[in-house]
Chains A and B, each alone.
Chain A
Amino acid sequence: MNINITIIWSSIAFLIFTWSCYYFIWPPIMAAIRTRQKTIADGIENAETAARDVEQAEQQASEIMRNARLEAQTLLDQARSQATALVEAAKTEGREEGERLKAAGVAEIEQESNRIRESLRGDVATLAVQGAERILESDIDSDKHRAMLEKLAAEL
């Protein structure tokens, strides 16, 4: 264990090595590490943002889905009530049409019966004249007795 000049040379070597490390090695490696750390930190942050965005988008999507379902339900309800209304209207119309047809029929029948009654009345008058002719054995001048016959027919 001899202390000698080696101690000073070691000191100098030590200083040179530490300084070289400080000057040549440290800056590029530290820069690389710091840059990479920043890149990774940014990446993590981006991923978190993206996850938040996805969550938001999912929320929006479910909102839209819910709205769509509600709208569909409303439409369905509307359609159903419209259909009911249509059916009701058709029923009413049908009923009215039936009534109308029935009334028309009744009117027609009445007309017909009137007409028949008229013709019957004419026939009765003729028959009555013929009958009277036979009874009287004489000609009844239809022209002369028209008035009487018409009066007779009106009484029938």
Chain B
Amino acid sequence: MATGEVTSTEYIQHHLTNLTYGRMPDGTWQFAHTTEEVASMGFWAIHVDSFAWSLGLGLLFLAVFGIAARKATSGVPGGFQCAIEMIIEMIEDIAKDIFTYKNDYVAPMAVTVFVWVFLMNLMDLVPVDWIPHLATLAGIHYMKIVPTTDVNVTMGMALTIFAMILIFSVWKKGLGGFLAELSFHPFPKFLAPINFLLEGVTLLTKPLSLGLRLFGNLYAGELIFVLICLLFSGGAVLVASGIFLQWAWAAFHVLIITLQAFIFSVLSVVYLAQAYDTGEDH
């Protein structure tokens, strides 16, 4: 919380800064202690907090689903197995509807994306001060626990999807076919450069919008949680409204985090289906 020594700006800034490990201008590798230091570390720095949390949540996903897979029985399933199967079947059904081609990898990927992104988003519902405060007590200066509020994580996933789009496109259509698809419409062939430009932008928009949509939604959500938290440093009325707003925004956020995870997952499948889609003319 914003105590007397910390201004609101500093408080917000603190909450929006990742725990960054990188090379300082003076050549030493260490954790950044100020936002200026973070900015000075450049590309080779790593956001330890968001990466560690995303990794941990991913492993949690693998562990939980792995246990379900290990115990999976074709007889009468228990509640746990039912729950896992429901999630898997829900996403698998949708993925199979959208992605009608033969590829065994797409449905598991969609499930992984959905559950992993959901878990990462879920961290947004943990009150914003709990874990950062504990981390501060433990001597860690910065701690962002929602990996999807880190553009590196969302764009990392989106760019991986983009790479898959390119690979599948070239694999299914051939390099020439893929380039032809980009160049020969919407306008006639003699306007190929313009077509290529338009379609190229369309293509590049896919990963950008995919990654930035998730990032933007969660970043904004987190920011609003932080702003609501600022109210708790005010008077009784502000605290009361803060409590209400915290509850209301969290309740609303339950929808947002699920929806965003779902959208990310389904759009990934849609893009991959488009990459597979040959012989169409749109």
Using a CB–CB cutoff of 8 Å, the interface residues on chain A facing chain B are 1-11, 13-15, 17-18, 20-22, 24-29, 31-33, 35-36, 39
How far, in Å, is A68 (CB) from chain B's closest CB?
46
Residues B69 and A25 in contact, CB atoms below 8 Å apart: yes
Report chain A residues within 8 Å CB of B177.
Answer: none
Q: Is the CB–CB distance between B112 and A18 below 8 Å?
A: yes
Pick the 7 closest A-B CB pairs, nearest first: A10-B156, A35-B74, A6-B152, A32-B72, A22-B108, A7-B152, A21-B112
Query: If the complex has contacts A10-B153, A14-B156, A14-B160, are A21 and B108 also in contact, measured as CB distance less than 8 A?
Result: yes
Number of A-B contacts (CB under 8 A): 131
Report how far A18 CA is from B117 CA in the complex, Å. Answer: 12
> Could you give 19 example pairs across A and B, Cβ below 8 Å?
A2-B47, A3-B151, A4-B46, A4-B47, A6-B152, A6-B153, A10-B155, A10-B157, A14-B157, A17-B112, A18-B109, A22-B108, A24-B66, A24-B69, A25-B69, A26-B107, A28-B70, A32-B77, A33-B89
When distances are taken between beta carbons in the complex, the residues of chain A under 8 Å from B72 are: 28-29, 31-32
Report which B residues bind A (CB closer than 8 A): 18, 20, 22, 38-39, 41-47, 50-51, 54-55, 58, 61-62, 65-66, 68-70, 72-75, 77, 81, 84-85, 88-89, 104-105, 107-109, 111-113, 116, 150-153, 155-157, 159-160, 163
With both beta carbons as reference points, the residue of chain A lying nearest to B111 in the complex is identified as A21
The smallest beta-carbon distance between A39 and chain B, in angstroms, is 7
CB <8 Å contact, A36 and B150? no
Q: Determine the residue in chain A with the shortest Cβ distance to B35.
A: A2
**Cα A32 to Cα B73 with chains together (Å):** 5
Q: Are A36 and B104 in contact (CB under 8 A)?
A: no
Given A21-B65, A25-B65, A25-B108, list of 17 further CB < 8 A pairs?
Answer: A2-B38, A2-B45, A3-B43, A4-B20, A4-B47, A7-B152, A9-B156, A13-B156, A17-B61, A22-B109, A24-B62, A25-B62, A26-B69, A28-B72, A29-B85, A32-B77, A33-B74
CA distance A15 to B50 in the complex (A): 17
Residues of A contacting B155 in the complex (Cβ-Cβ under 8 angstroms): 3, 7, 10
**B contact residues around A7 at 8 Å (CB):** 152-153, 155-156, 159
How far is it, in angstroms, between the C-alpha of A8 and the C-alpha of B51 when the chains are bound? 10
